[in-house]
Amino acid sequence: MLNKLKGKRIMITGASSGIGEALAIECARRGMHLGLVARREEHLHRLAERLRPSGVQIETAVLDVNDTDQVTPVLSGLADLLGGVDIVIANAGILKSRKVGDGRMHRDQQIFQTNVMGAIATSEAAIQLFRLQGRGGQFAVTSSYSAFLPLPMAAAYSASKAAVTSYFNAIRAPLLRENIRVTVLHPSFVKTDMLDGFETRGLPIVARADEMATAMMDAIAREQHNPILPKQPWGMLYQAQKLMPSRLILELQKRM
């Protein structure tokens, strides 16, 4: 899988930390040219300088995907600097926990705005770019295994990822007519700064970001539709979960 993506031009949102940063490092390792997008300019520049010795082209753009009107012009400008784009990953996302009924519904609104509408805005920009180029492309979006196993302390996050999975699976078929491929990534629980302040004791098998980035890029290289990552044990758990009685799933959620 290393050589398959070499020389490809990729744009990644939410690239300044966590999985996004790990994806940038992994893509540079594979010889891909990078367009890195995030809110925090200082973090972006630090990451870009770290990766420049790899010899790939690196361009950066500051963007908050919540400002949906700016997503298309910013990504278009970044594509111009890169000389085009082959792959776009909508990775920007947030996690805010709360207890149900605590009155802090604004936190849920923020999650849906960033995780769902930000991803959709990114896809709209990517589709326009692919159409202008006239040769198709690949759009990938970071969902989560919590789309299938909702987290009680992060109900809005889980629901937002379920919405992402449903939306991008819905648009895959019509886009294939234009050679635009859609990959919906479902990483398991990953230890990043997003989990700071979130109780991880009940989460099973918290993975490392670098290992997850490798698995995600392999899935993108294979143009998989809905990979669950890593495949072992999570793919097996997903199949087993389908057969579990709802009472057993409820007991599992109680421990999270």
Catalytic residues: 157
Q: 3-state class of 37 per DSSP?
A: strand
Task: For residue 193, count other CB atoms closer than 10 A to its CB.
Answer: 10
Residues 6+ apart with CB under 8 A from 202: 255, 256
Q: Are 13 and 65 in contact (CB under 8 A)?
A: yes
Give the residue carrying structure tokens 């072992």: 232
The CA distances from residue 131 to 42, 55, 137, 246, in Å, are 32, 29, 9, 44
Q: How far apart are CA 144 and CA 224, in angstroms?
A: 15
Task: For residue 170, count other CB atoms closer than 10 A to its CB.
Answer: 10
**Secondary element (H or E) of residue 232:** helix 231-243
Q: How far apart are CA 184 and CA 228, in angstroms?
A: 9
